Structure 1
Amino acid sequence: MKKFSSKISNWLTPVAMKFSNQRHLCAIRDGFVVLMPLVIVSSFFILINNVILDSNNGILRNIVDLSRYQAIGNQVYNGTLGFLSILIAFTVAYKLSESYGEDGLISGVISVAVLVTMFPSTLEIVPIGADKPVEVMGAISQNETSATGLLFAIISALVGTEIFLRLQKNNKFKISLPDTVPLAVSKSFSALIPAFITLTLFGVIVFIIESLFGFGLQDLVVKLIQKPLSAVFQGMIGINIVMLFQNLLWSLGIHGTFVLGPITEPTLLVAIQENINAFNVGLDIPNIVTKPFIDSFAMLGGGGCTIGLIIAILIASKREEDKGIAKLSIAPGLFNINEPLMFGLPVILNPILAIPLILVPLINLNIAYIATRLGLISKTVVMVPWTTPPILSAYLSTAGDWRAAVLAALLIGISIIVYLPFVMATNIVSAHTELEDENTEI
């Protein structure tokens, strides 16, 4: 078993490492890391607005009307998740440019300009009291600036930055100024012609696409890339494949969530944004699989649903050192941080524990998916921080559905049951290993 695990590790680890170190994927991943504080801040305000202050679903709705204070959270949302695509365009371009050893600040500014250049030039709105929509010039919708437009923003940042940097490296497009000119001014002028060509290029592309198809470049990206990718994630087969690969990487000591983040994060954030938008206006919630759905039901205690493993070790393990590590892992595990357990036990490269580490999240994911599809629990409509403790995260992410909390508790119970026989198996293996060591010493 150990030889088989070693062979898989030797084959898959270099592939995963090469994938995770790919320049553009690293830029996306690092761009999200920069914005993580804003996402968490926004999540708290969305949580407060929907679970506490909402006049229809808030837990205080029968006691006092606090709905007018939702305006505070709405303002914070406008500057965080409501502006996320603009921010990610800057951070991704910044990180990508840095990876080439170039000035990230200029590239980030150009990337935002490229993104806004490709936004629709007119916006249809229906004025209060009017029957027909009217076209407004110079207005930008949150469909473009919020998490809904993430994929388009990332693509525009990557493509725009690559074009800009290549033009900037060409000496033909550089404007040379005397040495007496301040360095900041010189850098700005050296970017003038590359920026002009880059923005003109994207402006022409948008014009051609709108002329040929009657819709913008963003709509084209949504139709060709975002919708198919979303369909994969919303289907049971697709999300199971993603989770299988993610936890397989975890079993090999590779941070699966971190490696696949550049692909999964934008799609799952778009899904929860669509759910939030529908929930706020009273429409049917469109998506089952979102980032808080995965966090609340498939990653209880962290990757591999290791909260169940901690409890199983405390119940059945005969190794005092394992119990000691499990006890130390309880506190971080309650906030879905499982590195102390993964590397301390260790769980990684452990051929026995690798099996439940891969299976448990898949079991929990499918149970939660089926329960949601059958209407036994509500769909996730609140973006809660991934560090929210298990059970509570399920309750909050579904806007206070107690059934979701009960399901999360049941899933922890299932996790314990699945992990128990494998923990018992480690007792047997450890006993044999200790016996062999004693015989060797004799």
Structure 2
Amino acid sequence: MNKLSDKIATWLAPVANKFANQRHLGAVRDGFILLIPLVIVASFFILINNVVLDPDNGILKNVIDLSQFKGIGTQVYNGTLGFLSIFVAFTVAYKLAVSYGKDGVIPGVMSVAVLVTMFPSVLEVTPLNSEAAVQVTGMITQTETSATGLLFAIISALLGTELFLKLQENKRFRISLPESVPPAVSRSFEALIPAFVTLSFFGTLVFLLQSMFGLGLQEIVTEVIQVPLKAIFQGLVGINVVMTFQNLLWGMGIHGTFVLGPITEPTLLTAIQENINAFQTNIEIPNIVTKPFIDSFAMLGGGGCTIGLIIAIFIASKRAEYREVAKFSLAPGLFNINEPLMFGLPVILNPILAIPLILVPLVNLNIAYMATSLGFISKTVVMVPWTTPPVLSAFLSTAGDWRAALLAVLLIGISVFIYLPFVIAANKVANEERSH
């Protein structure tokens, strides 16, 4: 079994590492990391608005009416999640340019310009107290600027930055100024012609598509890429395949969440954005699988739901080294940081513990999915930090549903139950090794 494990690792590890180190995927991943504080701040205010300040369902509804203060959270939302695709366009382009050894500011600004250039120039809106839609120009909606436009923002950032940098490297497109000119001014003029060509290209592309097909580029991207991806992640089979591969990478000693993040994050963030919008407007919540759903139910204690492994070791392990590692892994594990456990036991490349590492998250995921689809627990509507302790994260992400917290406790118990026989098996293997 050890030989089989080594062969799998030898084959899979280089592929996964190459995938993780790919320049464009890395730019997407790092661009999202820069924006984590904004997402968490926005989610905090959404939680306050809907759990505390809501006059109909808030916890203070029979005590005091503070609904007039909801406007504060609304303004914060508009400046954070409501503008997320614009921020992503900048940060992804910035990180991509830096990976090429370039200054990332001008490409970041260019990426935002490319994105807005491709927004619809004419929108149909229905005024209040009217049933007739009218066409308006010079207007941008949160459909384009919020997380629902993330995929389009990422594509715009990657394509726009690549074209801009390629043009900037070409001396024929560069305006050179005397050395006496300040460097900042010189860099701006060097970007002038590449910027003109880049924006002209994307503006012309959108114009031609609109003229020929009556569809904007954003609508085409949404229909061709985003809708199928969303269908995969929201379907039980699709999300199981994704989680299986992610956990398999963890078993090989590769950070599965980190590797697949550039693919999973945009779709899962878009899903939670749609849930947040529906929650704020009191309509049906559309999505089961979101980023906080995965964090709260399928990654309790970190990848592999390893909080269950820690408890199982305390219950059944007779191996002193296992118990010592579990002791110093407990505190980080309560905040979903499981690297001490993964590399300390180790769990990675461990043919005994790798099996439950892959199995437990899938069991928990499917139970939580079914519980949500049957209405036993609420859908996730709040983006909580991934470091939020288990159980509490389930409670907060579902806007205070105690049933979700209870389910998280149950899932931890199931995790312990599944991990226990493998911990006992590890004890027996250790005893046999000592006897030889």
**SS of aligned partner of 2:148:** helix
Aligned partner letter, 1:227: V
Aligned partner letter, 2:423: V
* Paired residues of 1:313 and 1:323 also in contact (CA < 8 A): yes
Aligned partner letter, 1:420: L
Return the offset for 1:300: 0.7
Aligned partner letter, 1:19: F
Aligned partner letter, 2:412: I
* Identical columns (%): 73
Return the offset for 1:124: 2.8
| Matched residue, 1:162 | 162
| Matched residue, 1:131 | 131
* Larger displacement relative to structure 2 (384-393 or 216-225): 384-393
Return the offset for 1:431: 1.4
Return the offset for 1:94: 0.8
| Matched residue, 2:17 | 17
Task: Find the aligned partners of 2:56 and 2:293 in 1 and give their Cα distance.
Answer: 23
Task: Find the aligned partners of 1:432 and 1:8 in 2 and give their Cα distance.
Answer: 25
Task: Find the aligned partners of 2:347 and 2:411 in 1 and give their Cα distance.
Answer: 20
Runs of 5+ unmatched residues, structure 1: 437-442
Are 2:394 and 1:394 aligned?
yes
Return the offset for 1:50: 2.2
| Matched residue, 2:422 | 422
| TM superposition score normalised by structure 1 | 0.96
| TM superposition score normalised by structure 2 | 0.98
| Matched residue, 2:261 | 261
| Matched residue, 2:361 | 361
- Summarize deviations over 1:350-403 as a string: whole Å, max 9, x none: 111000000000000011111111122111111111111111211221122222
Task: Find the aligned partners of 1:61 and 1:432 in 2 and give their Cα distance.
Answer: 63
| Matched residue, 2:172 | 172
| Matched residue, 1:439 | none
* Paired residues of 1:275 and 1:286 also in contact (CA < 8 A): yes
Task: Find the aligned partners of 1:387 and 1:52 in 2 and give their Cα distance.
Answer: 23
* Paired residues of 1:30 and 1:92 also in contact (CA < 8 A): yes
Return the offset for 1:100: 1.3
Task: Find the aligned partners of 2:274 and 2:24 in 1 and give their Cα distance.
Answer: 26
**SS of aligned partner of 1:302:** coil
Task: Find the aligned partners of 2:105 and 2:74 in 1 and give their Cα distance.
Answer: 29
Root-mean-square deviation (CA), in Å? 1.2
| Matched residue, 2:86 | 86
Aligned pairs, how many? 436
| Matched residue, 1:208 | 208
User: What does residue range 312-327 of structure 1 map to in structure 2 within 5 Å?
Assistant: 312-327=312-327
**SS of aligned partner of 2:35:** helix
User: What does residue range 57-206 of structure 1 map to in structure 2 within 5 Å?
Assistant: 57-206=57-206
Task: Find the aligned partners of 2:124 and 2:282 in 1 and give their Cα distance.
Answer: 21
Are 2:30 and 1:30 aligned?
yes
**SS of aligned partner of 1:103:** coil
Aligned partner letter, 1:143: T
Task: Find the aligned partners of 1:54 and 1:332 in 2 and give their Cα distance.
Answer: 35
* Paired residues of 1:57 and 1:399 also in contact (CA < 8 A): no
* Larger displacement relative to structure 2 (157-166 or 206-215): 206-215
- Summarize deviations over 1:380-434 as a string: whole Å, max 9, x none: 1111111111112112211222221111111111000000000001111111222
**SS of aligned partner of 2:420:** helix
Aligned partner letter, 2:311: I
* Paired residues of 1:301 and 1:333 also in contact (CA < 8 A): yes
Task: Find the aligned partners of 2:6 and 2:135 in 1 and give their Cα distance.
Answer: 62
Spell out structure 1 runs of 4+ moving beyond 4 A.
none
* Paired residues of 1:90 and 1:112 also in contact (CA < 8 A): yes
**SS of aligned partner of 1:135:** strand
Aligned partner letter, 1:73: G
Aligned partner letter, 1:92: V
Task: Find the aligned partners of 2:262 and 2:157 in 1 and give their Cα distance.
Answer: 14
Return the offset for 1:64: 2.0
**SS of aligned partner of 2:135:** strand
**SS of aligned partner of 2:128:** coil
Aligned partner letter, 2:80: T
Task: Find the aligned partners of 1:325 and 1:434 in 2 and give their Cα distance.
Answer: 20
Task: Find the aligned partners of 1:343 and 1:57 in 2 and give their Cα distance.
Answer: 45
- Summarize deviations over 1:70-123 as a string: whole Å, max 9, x none: 222222222211111111101111111111112211100100000010111133
Task: Find the aligned partners of 1:61 and 1:8 in 2 and give their Cα distance.
Answer: 57
User: What does residue range 47-62 of structure 1 map to in structure 2 within 5 Å?
Assistant: 47-62=47-62
Task: Find the aligned partners of 2:99 and 2:275 in 1 and give their Cα distance.
Answer: 35
Task: Find the aligned partners of 1:59 and 1:300 in 2 and give their Cα distance.
Answer: 27
Return the offset for 1:323: 1.4
| Matched residue, 1:281 | 281
Are 2:339 and 1:339 aligned?
yes
* Paired residues of 1:51 and 1:396 also in contact (CA < 8 A): no
**SS of aligned partner of 1:92:** helix
Aligned partner letter, 2:417: I
Task: Find the aligned partners of 1:61 and 1:225 in 2 and give their Cα distance.
Answer: 43
Aligned partner letter, 2:166: R
Task: Find the aligned partners of 2:337 and 2:55 in 1 and give their Cα distance.
Answer: 34
Task: Find the aligned partners of 1:40 and 1:377 in 2 and give their Cα distance.
Answer: 23
Return the offset for 1:149: 0.6
* Paired residues of 1:47 and 1:384 also in contact (CA < 8 A): no
Are 2:382 and 1:382 aligned?
yes
Aligned partner letter, 2:174: K
| Matched residue, 1:272 | 272
**SS of aligned partner of 1:279:** helix
Task: Find the aligned partners of 1:417 and 1:405 in 2 and give their Cα distance.
Answer: 19
* Larger displacement relative to structure 2 (198-207 or 49-58): 49-58
